[in-house]
Structure 1
């Protein structure tokens, strides 16, 4: 991963693990081929996707450029091999896996350098799958949340001269107030703020949940997402 912001997440690995949602099962059904493929979770973070792949009974190995994120992954998923590396330098041998999944991380990647590495570790005819959870700001309170925390520009196109199929899935994630705070605190833009500015943003989020009619007096909130997916066969 090449963007300097990508290395910031380790500073908030615990908040990332508590606050970030998993992925809808239908998205994984679409991304994963049938049978028992060996899976690489590339840019694995704290293992949100690795956990779901492992729950399907599949072999998965996790790679991430952050020591802090990998430490949290190893804590929550001690049976999943976890290695330091990046999309441009994957610490696996040739033909090691049948599927490479990149969750919430492809926008950090240099695709020109990453594609040959991904193709190298994939078996012939292996699959590359990309997935992002994107807040659905058609909801008023979610749009106001985005205005508070900032909607970071993100290129979610594959940026590769490869034939990708794409689809998306709408769903909702139930979050408690403290989980919403962790979700905000785990964003790279917020992590890199000075402490006083970060505290001011989190205070605005608390104000939103205390005053917005859709959230006022509720012990949990339904946060809508659109999960965007892309898949391609390589080799």
Structure 2
């Protein structure tokens, strides 16, 4: 994972934890269902504050380790998901021995990696027959107000990849990817919507004047929608991909 935006999230770890959605358990279970019986050692790479880690930890018999390049994100993860071992690292350079895990999963992260280098490195640490799982929560822009929200906040590399014509690239030693989607709603307050926006890499790295302008435009949209101190349902589509190591 490289670049200023890819490594910017620690500056907004609190907003990331408060504003980003959880992952549906069904999506996580689907990514892992191709694992051989009894195989449950899983590495969450690009784990951030532990949004995906805590769902993985609910899988029966799971032994989870969390890896992220940002110390601030890992510090928040240790608070939120105590007991899960954490390590500094990236998808292209993993602090794990060869063939030491049954699965590697990435939530909201594959769009930051070099897919060929990362596939090769993940293939090094995943046992034959193991799984690479990729998952994203993306706002459902079939809703007109959600499209307007994205126009205000700007689209992200994640949205461009998942909604693009080809989806994520996965290379050897992993086989062809399978894909599945889940639609759901998240009830959010105005504050949570702002926290979601300001946890995004574009806004984290934007100048203060632009951040202030985006906040004003978001509030204008929320006022138009009649969102006072209540909540609004923000529709999401969770898209998951899985590939088996040869």
Normalised-by-shorter TM-score class = over 0.9
The residue number in structure 1 matching 2:11 is 11
SS in 1 for 2:44: strand
The answer (yes or no) to whether the contact 1:131–1:230 under 8 Å persists in 2 is yes
1:155 aligns with 2:166: no
Shift of 1:173: 1.1
Structure 2 unmatched runs, 5+: none
Point out the more displaced range, 73-82 or 31-40. Answer: 31-40
Shift of 1:44: 0.5
Alignment partner of 1:67 out of 49, 68, 71: 71
1:42 aligns with 2:45: yes
CA distance in 2, matches of 1:233, 1:3: 29
1:197 aligns with 2:210: yes
The residue number in structure 2 matching 1:79 is 83
Deviations 1:92-128 (A, max 9, x none): 1112211111110001011121112111111121000
CA distance in 2, matches of 1:40, 1:115: 14
TM-score by length of 2: 0.90
Point out the more displaced range, 156-165 or 142-151. Answer: 156-165
Alignment partner of 2:243 out of 206, 211, 232: 232
The answer (yes or no) to whether the contact 1:3–1:109 under 8 Å persists in 2 is no
The answer (yes or no) to whether the contact 2:190–2:228 under 8 Å persists in 1 is no
The answer (yes or no) to whether the contact 1:190–1:198 under 8 Å persists in 2 is yes
The residue number in structure 1 matching 2:196 is 183
TM-score by length of 1: 0.94
Point out the more displaced range, 20-29 or 83-92. Answer: 20-29
SS in 1 for 2:7: helix
Deviations 1:176-216 (A, max 9, x none): 2111110000000000011222122112212211222xx43
Shift of 1:31: 0.8
Shift of 1:6: 0.6
CA distance in 1, matches of 2:145, 2:84: 37
Shift of 1:218: 5.9
CA distance in 1, matches of 2:233, 2:68: 30
Aligned length: 233
CA distance in 1, matches of 2:227, 2:132: 42
Structure 1 unmatched runs, 5+: none
Q: How does 1:85-164 map to 2 (within 5 A)?
A: 85-153=89-157, 154-156=160-162, 157-161=167-171, 162-164=175-177
The residue number in structure 2 matching 1:220 is 231
SS in 2 for 1:22: coil
CA distance in 2, matches of 1:20, 1:216: 19
CA distance in 1, matches of 2:141, 2:220: 18
- CA RMSD in angstroms comes to 1.5
CA distance in 2, matches of 1:217, 1:102: 35
CA distance in 2, matches of 1:216, 1:152: 25
CA distance in 2, matches of 1:6, 1:107: 9
Shift of 1:217: 4.0
